[in-house]
Chain A
Amino acid sequence: MSQTADLVVQDLHVAVEGKQILKGLSLEVRKGEVHALMGPNGSGKSTLANTLMGHPRYEVTGGDILFKGESILGLESDARSRAGLFLAFQYPVAIPGVTVSNFLRTALNARLAPRVATTDGSMPARRGIAPKEFRALLREHMALLKMDESFALRYLNDGFSGGEKKRTEILQMAMLKPEIAIMDETDSGLDIDALRIVSEGVNALSGPDLGVLVITHYQRILDYIKPHFVHVMLDGRITLSGGPELALELESRGYDFVREGKESAR
């Protein structure tokens, strides 16, 4: 385990359209770790997820985000992705006319090809993944998520059910092999079977090379994905951190006990 964590969030302040949402959030995630970030609606969970990924609408007004030791605040979302960060969306948008397969190949090629000009200024020839190799890789990962092969030719998230969308998110995660993955309320809108399949997918990907930040409102998903750390978020910052037992306590006592604790601490 390295000295500095792979993802370090330092005293992060974020505003959306002038409104301050995150008010000094700090968090560290290392590869191999599974963190759960829990909090009631409106506590700023999704804001954290979008800010980490570089959504242009979220304005960082203070603090820093370090990834592998360097600040990524100046990087666009595509560069952050290629650096090894991944966000599984709460509400993945549809891209009509673009097949899952075509999209994944483009995304994969985007990280395989060097994007810097050579010394003489010319762009290096693009080295993409061979179609045959790609198809094999895709098939393999789709099997893992129990997805039908015809899925690859459907238009991305277009007309997908909630479960299909979330599975597609995990498929993308599996194909792109990030170092740190943020899962924004992946459990929302899933029935119990879909939740199990998605969780199994995440578990299969977990290991020493992947750090996971599971953002959730409910404890439910944590029955399937076992976190090493649990953080409770209230009003734009983390107010309580602990081990897996904290999630259970939240489940039985609700977020109010954290709020009360916060009150009494003052």
Chain B
Amino acid sequence: MNASENPTGGIRDSYTEKYGFHDADQFVFKARKGLDAGIVRGISQMKGEPAWMLEFRLKALETFQKKPMPRWGGDVGQIDFDDIYYYVKPTEQEAKSWDDVPADMKRTFDRLGIPEAEQKFLSGVGAQYDSEVVYHKIKENLSKLGVLFLSTDHALRDHEELFRQYFGTVIPPTDNKFAALNSAVWSGGSFIYVPKGVRVDVPLQAYFRINTKDMGQFERTLIIVDEGAYVHYVEGCTAPTYSSDSLHSAVVEIIVKAGGRCRYTTIQNWSNNVYNLVTKRAAAYRDATMEWVDGNLGCITGDSAILVNNDVVPIEQIEPGAMVYALNAEMEWERRPVLAKRYSGRQQVHLLRTENHREVRATANHPFLTLTKQGKHASLAWKRLDQLTTRDLVAISGTVPDHGKSRSFEPIPNHGRKAITLPETSTEELMWLLGVYVGDGYVERSRVYFAVPPADKSHSRVLESLAGLFGVDFEVRKGVVRINSVSLRDWLMHLGFSGKAHEKRVPVWVYQLPREQRVAFIEGYIAADGHFRANHKNVSITSVNRALLEDVKALAIACGLDPRKISRWSRVEKKPLGKVEKEYTHYFLYFGEGRLDRPVYFSRVSAIEALDVQDTWDIEIEGTHNFVANGFVVHNSKLTMKYPAIYLMEPGAHGEVLSIAFAGKGQHQDAGAKAVHVASHTTSKIVSKSISKDGGRAGYRGLVKVAKGAVGCRSTVNCDALILDDLSRSDTYPTMEIEEDQVSIGHEATVSKIGDEQLFYLTSRGVPKDEAAAMIVAGFIEPVVKELPMEYAVEMNRLIQLQMEGSVG
């Protein structure tokens, strides 16, 4: 067994073997693919729902269609909503005995060990197969106490009043696009009601299985824990390993009333072609406790978003394989390949501008790297564009490493009567001259002109360069340098330099040159069109061509220069001899005084303006998740929505989130949580454990929010990362939004590597190296695993062990 050749092979193979099977499709009803009001009506009718529910669904559908794709919602750009089955009904009715479940389906759940688990250690089990719950049963003693554990559909039928009182109250359909989608087409899920004072000591479990290809599973779970009651609910999910993607978009709403306690444990082990976009939220009332325990073993691969690198390529032209610059954890630039690009549709965009006049257009949810200062401390966090204010400092690129190469020029056919030398490669001198050409040069007929009069201090350098580089003859007439050479003219055109001032742009290849040549080009351009204003140390460039100035600005940013704003200046005048009034418009590009020598700078946001709807694009970067867009450091957009949230609504409420993420090769696993302290004297605790190996990236992302007026709140966040080799990474993005002073917020993050000394210690007792490493990992996650039901703890450890096989030594 040599897993090191295929380090993720272990778990993936094991997944395929264990969960990757699928049954022949079987169903009593399958709606056509795609989503519209007809499908929604059909689902509702099929279920025989009351009119209010149909209305609720249709309204949610409208919301879904109106809402933009959430960029935070994960790598969702590739989901084709028209290519999904929204409703597949596998059986006529829900069974109360496994004997009544169709044989094939029962076999599926048998293979997954569900009936056995029910016997051994559960109070009740629900099993959902595609859209519908096919089995649901609760132990008799509990139902006698008034505990309800039903499929959500069933609950709507039998307990409509209770259902209606809570349904959609914690997560309204307007919350986000996927919550709206779920609200429109929901089917199945669990409904739990635990009456006042009743404790359900043994867990209830639901098991979700996607079987049909191209299936969307939209279960809806609603848990109500009444005053002083307790329940532990476990959900497990798997899907077959299909080559095309499935969509799992659940909504889980939990209400924990005064003094109640609810624990919700998730063991997700989706195959890696399932989009898992779940909105989970709990509201905890006075003295209530809500706990989320999250063990994520599925794979969430890299994320996405916009733009560019050294080459300064528009995002729509970037192709997979291109190298872009990304900021690593040490705040240094490194080059990373683009894995994928996709069109994200036409979306409302906003213009973000900083005080130093960097500008970028992005959607409201696009994340930017920001620096937040609180007293003496400064912290970095990714903030969405719509969360930015003019108090925020956002990261902008300074100097990126220089990977430019000189350009080789192929010879072009020489039509000229006079032979001239054409340079073979680009040089600083040539680029300077071309910069001057962009400012002051033009072409007429067979001649090339440089409008650089002898009085200009660049005049002699232009003449020297022309002679030195091309060996051409020139004459100076009326203050203009004139070269009569078809060859030179053709060569300039061939390189992409236009002959007319309004059409000039910076040719693409200029962006790919070594920095010093790019700088020489800008210097040449400044020599031609630049000037110093009185009493200013900085330079500005004037042109009638705004697009050219935008090009130069982008080039200057890529050089680590500090270009500032482009402003417009117009005047209307009559020519002395003319009759018509004519408007003259000029643009100015101003430069800051120095170079930006450090890799990253922070500049204050000066404005955010809503623009119109535009085409938007995403790119996905290997390993890291940020890149530079118009000189801004931005993050790939994905923030998966499986981060459970707790809203602490009344004093004394307590929330806990424990999570584990394991990232192997090519994986990006995020774990995290959201705790919102709405009321005073509420407490929360977040423990996040992440493990990364073989170049995987695991991290914590979370939000602790304390509302204004909520005093005496306490929150502790512990993010521990274990990194198994030098290739792997860990990221921590804690965000704190604290609007109240009288609170106690603790945040602790540790990053450790498996140490040689730990390995030596364990192996010196005879434990083989891979087993020793697995042991260290198991120990690392132990504080979370011990909170899992025993059977899951065993499974978790087994999977970790599989992941670890052959990974050291």
Contacts of B760 in A (CB 8 A): 53, 55-56, 77
A110 vs B809: C-alpha distance when bound (angstroms): 17
17 CB-based A-B contacts, threshold 8 Å: A54-B764, A56-B760, A76-B769, A78-B766, A81-B765, A95-B761, A95-B762, A95-B779, A96-B780, A98-B778, A103-B765, A106-B771, A110-B768, A110-B771, A155-B782, A176-B765, A176-B766
Cβ-based interface call for B757 (8 A)? yes
With A89-B761, A92-B761 as known contacts, state yes or no: A106 contacts B778, CB within 8 Å: no
Per the bound structure, the CA–CA distance linking A172 and B769 in Å amounts to 18
Tell me which residues across on chain B come within 8 A of A176, comparing CB atoms.
765-766
Please tell me if B723 contacts chain A, counting CB pairs below 8 Å. no
Shortest C-beta distance, B771 to chain A (Å), equals 7
Contact B764 A77 (CB under 8 A): yes
Question: In the assembly, what is the distance between CA of A42 and CA of B776, in Å?
Answer: 31
Q: How far is the CA of A102 from the CA of B657 in the complex (A)?
A: 27
**A57 close to B (CB within 8 Å):** yes
Contact B764 A56 (CB under 8 A): no
Known: A53-B760, A97-B783, A98-B779. 5 other contacts (CB 8 A): A56-B756, A78-B769, A80-B764, A110-B766, A155-B779
What's the Cα separation between A110 and B767 when bound, in Å?
A: 6
Contact A106 B767 (CB under 8 A): yes
* A76 to B760 Cα, complex, angstroms: 10
Question: Would you call the interface of chain B mostly helix, strand, loop, or mixed?
Answer: helix
Could you mark each residue 699-721 of chain B with 1 if its beta carbon is under 8 Å from any beta carbon of chain A, else 0?
00000000000000000000000
CB-based contact B761/A172 at 8 Å:
no
Total residue contacts A-B, CB cutoff 8 A: 78
Interface string of B431-473 (1 = CB under 8 A from A): 0000000000000000000000000000000000000000000
- A-chain residues with CB within 8 Å of residue B765 when the two chains form the complex: 78, 81, 103, 107, 110, 172, 176
Shortest Cβ gap from A85 to chain B (Å): 9
A154 CB-CB contact with B under 8 Å: no
CB nearest neighbor in A for B775: A98
Residues of B at the A interface (CB closer than 8 Å) are 755-758, 760-769, 771-772, 775-776, 778-783, 809
Cβ–Cβ < 8 Å partners of A56 in chain B: 756, 760
- Contact call A78/B758, Cβ cutoff below 8 A: no
Is A87 among interface residues, defined by CB-CB distance under 8 A? Answer: yes
Query: A78-B769, A98-B779, A106-B771 are contacts. A93–B763 as well, Cβ < 8 Å?
Result: no
Residues 141-184 of chain A, each 1 if its beta carbon lies under 8 Å from chain B, else 0: 00000000000000100000000000000001000100000000
- Rounded to whole angstroms, the CA-CA distance of A147 and B645 in the bound complex is 44
Assembly CA distance A155 to B782 (angstroms): 10
- Report which residue of A55, A86, A111, A176 has the largest number of chain B beta carbons within 10 angstroms of its beta carbon: A55
Q: Check A81 against B755 for contact (C-beta < 8 Å).
A: no
Chain A residues 29 to 83 lying within 8 A of chain B, measured CB to CB, are 53-57, 76-78, 80-82
Which residues of chain A are within 8 angstroms of B776 by Cβ–Cβ distance? 95, 98
Interface residues of A in 82-134 (CB under 8 A from B): 82, 86-87, 89, 92-93, 95-98, 103, 106-107, 110-111, 115
* Candidate in B757, B766, B771, B783 with the most chain A CB atoms within 10 angstroms: B766
Which has the most chain A C-beta neighbours within 10 Å: B758, B769, B781, B783?
B758
CB distance from A176 to the nearest CB of B (A): 7
Instruction: Return A69 CB to nearest CB of chain B, in Å.
Output: 20
Q: Given known contacts A98-B776, A106-B775, A155-B779, is B757 in contact with A93 (CB within 8 Å)? A: yes
- A97 and B768: CB pair below 8 A? no
- Chain A hits for B755, CB < 8 A: 93
| Contact call A87/B778, Cβ cutoff below 8 A | no
User: Min CB distance, A86 to chain B, in Å?
Assistant: 8
Instruction: Name the residue on A nearest B772 (C-beta).
Output: A78
Min CB–CB distance A126 → chain B (angstroms)? 11
Nearest CB in chain A to that of B689: its residue:
A97
Residue of chain B at shortest CB distance from A111: B766
CA distance A77 to B771 in the complex (A): 13
Interface centre among B762, B775, B781 (most CB of A within 10 A): B762
Compute how far the CA of A103 lies from the CA of B780 in the bound complex, rounded to whole angstroms. 14
**Partner among B767, B775, B778, B780 whose Cβ is within 8 Å of the Cβ of A78:** B767
Question: Closest CB-CB distance, B616 to chain A, in whole Å?
Answer: 45
**Given A56-B756, A77-B763, does the pair A97, B769 have CB atoms closer than 8 Å?**
no
Q: Say whether B763 contacts A98, CB under 8 Å.
A: no
B450 to chain A, nearest CB (A): 63
Least CB distance from A189 to B in Å reads 17
- Pair B781/A97 contact, Cβ less than 8 Å: yes
> Inside 8 A of A89's CB, which chain B residues have their CB?
761, 764
Cβ of A78 and Cβ of B779 under 8 Å apart? no
Closest to B785 in A: A97
Nearest CB of chain B from residue A164's CB, rounded to whole Å: 16
